[in-house]
Structure 1
């Protein structure tokens, strides 16, 4: 009996992956793990120094930095086409970029809403629009959006952020059906609170009692960026080749409360 020589279905050797929000936190953890699995990474974000720090942590070679402000929604499609012409075929796309600002409804304004929706939701659609062009349909592509359990629950002062992340979950389902003809899977991960710079900013915006209440809702403690990166890598890989249109909570038991 012949044995399959590919014994690791999460092997990403030969794949090139575009990762947004790669300068820190979950994005950096994703880049590091995906490179360890053999992928070549195109790291993007606004922070050149942060991207270079991430680059220094990667395994292998052939990785690239592409600085871009994803608030420029109308320019994102052309930017993705440029990346493909400059660096070659893009097998996968991971959208980690996001903003989170805690504001109660009394402080709501259009600028706050537009900024949150542009970065967290509209950019995912615009990059996907560019990613799907001129695909080799014999190769299965994969997209993973990083959402949040804030899109599944109610949190005081976090309603706009939660709405944007719920939008990513809906976007996942719609695009998964629309991109079937392009042989692209679209999935999503929804982390609870993870120890990142964004979480620290959230803590800084709360009272000690409010933050302790949030901690108490995580039965397994706060997550690490690597916990989310592991889920992202799984959904990108051939181990998940028959998984499509799902949102995978990565939340340490939070939703069991």
Structure 2
């Protein structure tokens, strides 16, 4: 008897944005191990080459593009689909995080954060939904943050952008039902990535330790988030839609 594993992704092609490092890189590695054909995106070619070298199997490729170019994103995705083939799903990890208190707020800070973290998600989804085979279920996973569910000093605008991404998940999940596309989201807490190291460098040791102490299970690893992403992309989650899944080591229960 052959057992069916709904987590296997061997018949799927997946795009991962922000795959140069951190959670995006971990997703690329894991999805390749699960058999997916993965196209990795980021702004820096050399970093993407490093990711590619750590991936398993073949048939993967690199697609350099800056997600900040939202007006060009839809056409870019259409061209990418023509070159690579049909995409079954994508993971949107690209984003920015700058710790800045309200006294330093300005229009440029707002525009950049919302543009990169929220507008890019809408623009790439616009491209993904074009010319879909409705007999094949598509899957989108946005990577948000626990900051969208809580309040954090100096992280208010970032949290607002990620809360917007969660709202976008719910809205798009209904709008794209007719296209047979599921839209879900993960909300990681403190994960050991380059972004968190930059946050640590902007704090005192005591401030960062306070943040760490709020995580009963300690700091997460990128692979912990990648596992949740892989589940939401897979057929194991084929009846799960519009969900934001916290991946937070007990943070919300603390």
TM-score bin, normalised by smaller chain:
over 0.9
| Alignment pair present for 1:98 and 2:99 | no
Residue 158 of structure 2 is aligned to residue 151 of structure 1: no
The alignment status of 1:136 with 2:133, answered yes or no, reads yes
C-alpha separation in 1, matches of 2:102 and 2:20: 31
2:218 alignment partner in structure 1? 221
What displacement does 1:188 show?
0.2
1:41-77 deviations in whole A, cap 9, x for unaligned? Answer: 1100101111000000111111110100111110000
- Rounded to whole Å, the distance in 2 between the matches of 1:57 and 1:119 is 27
5 Å-filtered alignment, 1:6-85, equals 7-85=4-82
Deviations along 1:169-198, whole A, 9 cap, x unmatched?
000000000000000000000000100000
Moved over 4 A (4+): none
Equivalents in 2 of 1:47, 1:202: separation in Å? 21
Q: CA offset at residue 7 of structure 1?
A: 1.7
For 2:201 and 2:113, the matched residues in 1 are separated by 19
Please list every run of 5 or more consecutive structure 1 residues that lacks an aligned counterpart in the other structure: none
Give the distance between the partners of 1:46 and 1:116, measured in 2 at CA. Answer: 17
- Please report the RMSD computed on the Cα atoms of aligned residues, expressed in angstroms: 0.7
Give the distance between the partners of 1:6 and 1:235, measured in 2 at CA: 20
1:233 pairs with 2:230 = yes
TM-score (normalizing by structure 1): 0.98
Structure 2, unaligned runs of 5 or more = none
Deviation at 1:6, TM superposition (A): 5.1
Alignment size in residue pairs: 254
Q: Which residue of 1 aligns with 2:206?
A: 209
SS at match of 1:94: strand
**109-118 or 27-36, which deviates more:** 109-118
Q: 1:193 pairs with 190, 194, 197, which one?
A: 190
Q: Does residue 1:166 correspond to 2:180, yes or no?
A: no
Task: Provide the TM-score with structure 2 as the length reference.
Answer: 0.99
Distance 1:16 1:72 in 2: 23
Encode CA deviations 1:209-242: one digit per residue, 9 max, x unaligned: 1101101100000000000000000000000000
Q: Deviations over 1:70-104 (max 9, x none)?
A: 11110000000000011100100100011100000
